[in-house]
Amino acid sequence: MDSGSTWQHTTVLLAEAIESLVTRTEGVYVDGTFGRGGHSRAILGRLAPRGRLIAFDRDPEAVAAAHATIADARFTVVHAPFSEMTQRLADLGVAAIDGLLLDLGVSSPQIDNPARGFSFRHDAPLDMRMDPTRGQSAAEFLARADERAIAEVIRDHGEERFAVPIAKALVARRESGNPVRTTGQLSEVVARAVKTREPGQDPATRTFQGLRIHVNAELAELEQGLKSGVELLQPSGRLVVISFHSLEDRIVKTFIARESRSEVDRRAPFAPEKAHRLKALARIKPSDAEVRANPRARSAVMRVAERTGAVA
């Protein structure tokens, strides 16, 4: 199991995220996506001796990296997706938190390790699971799903306009007795089905994104994580979310906007308004210098919100 020494990860928006997140040095914070611990180590660096950090990650390799690289009594790592944080925190005796950080998407070690099957740059088994111990791989999904389901995943999660011809090609290959099992095979099928593509972008980019998001239920995980987070946050606690593509950012933006509005119950027009629970604070993009140093940062968007009122 990789402990993080081989596959390196450069943390995006590190200083900006920690500055936005940590407002109480003796507080309890959650890093919902440990990765290789860049944000977690920086949070610990800001916390007082009585502070506490609980990190989550669904990837066993990330959890192994946490155990191997961080020895701090204030730190706990949990092998679970952040969508499970409410129950997992309750198990640890934590009912409320002072800040939640979510750094979404796939990490550089996951992309760069060919064996994980996330990248079309290397031919490897088509897995794509962030937690290889549970759920079905991308290859298993393609082996079982019908043409319509495959097309919907590639179109809706990959924003691929050639989703239908790609799905047809994948099903035709499967029915010929030669289903797609590797990243290289998938790339070949997509390259033949996609007629045009933006300059500099591999034809398979959107298909790989769509399958990865589906296999890991990333959008449903995000929606549940945001809901849990706002319920756990103390008044004035911070929600900090870093997104890397429009589907994620749209969910975060919509959630913060909805939770920032007071609501009137139309069934009881004379009842008091339901108070809003969040206040949007910032939308931050990486600096030009950071993008030059780490091109993977170019699409990142960080949104910051603050909990208002009392904890529900």
Q: What is the pLDDT of residues 228-277, one digit of tens each?
A: 999 999 999 999 999 999 999 999 999 999 999 865 556 656 555 667 89
Lowest-pLDDT range, 171-185, 191-205, 259-273, 277-291? 259-273
Q: Which residues, in sequence order, are CB contacts of 275 under 8 Å at separation 6+? A: 262, 308, 309
Q: 3-state DSSP call for residue 46?
A: helix
Query: What is the Cα–Cα distance from 272 to 284, expressed in whole angstroms?
Result: 34
Query: What is the Cα–Cα distance from 74 to 43, expressed in whole angstroms?
Result: 11
Query: What is the Cα–Cα distance from 312 to 237, expressed in whole angstroms?
Result: 13
pLDDT-derived band of residue 7, with 50, 70 and 90 as boundaries?
very low
pLDDT at position 269 = 61
CATH number for the region 14-109+218-307 comes to 3.40.50.150
Write the single-letter amino acid at 217: A
pLDDT-derived band of residue 310, with 50, 70 and 90 as boundaries?
low
Query: What is the Cα–Cα distance from 297 to 262, expressed in whole angstroms?
Result: 34
Determine the average pLDDT of the residues in 279-306: 95
pLDDT at position 5 = 38
pLDDT-derived band of residue 113, with 50, 70 and 90 as boundaries?
confident
Instruction: Count Cβ atoms within 10 A of the Cβ of residue 108 and give its class: 0-12 exposed, 13-18 middle, 19 or more buried.
Output: middle
pLDDT at position 279 = 97
CB-CB neighbours of 149 under 10 Å: 14
Better pLDDT: 122 or 283: 283
pLDDT in tens, 55-107: 999 999 999 999 999 999 999 999 999 999 999 999 999 999 999 999 998 87
pLDDT at position 274 = 65
Helix (H) or strand (E) holding 284: strand 278-284
pLDDT surpassing 50 at residue 208: yes
CATH superfamily of 132-215: Putative methyltransferase TM0872, insert domain (1.10.150.170)
Determine the average pLDDT of the residues in 169-174: 98
The model's pTM: 0.90
Contact 26, 2 (CB under 8 A): no
Tell me the three-class secondary structure of 225-237, residue by residue: HHHHHHHHEEEEE
Read off the tokens for 61. 């390799």
pLDDT at position 265 = 54
Contact 173, 181 (CB under 8 A): no
Lowest-pLDDT range, 120-134, 259-273, 297-311? 259-273
Radius of gyration (Cα) for the chain, nearest Å?
Answer: 21
Q: Which residues, in sequence order, are CB contacts of 42 under 8 Å at separation 6+? A: 11, 14, 15, 17, 18
Query: What is the Cα–Cα distance from 104 to 248, expressed in whole angstroms?
Result: 8
Per-domain boundaries in the chain: 14-109+218-307, 132-215
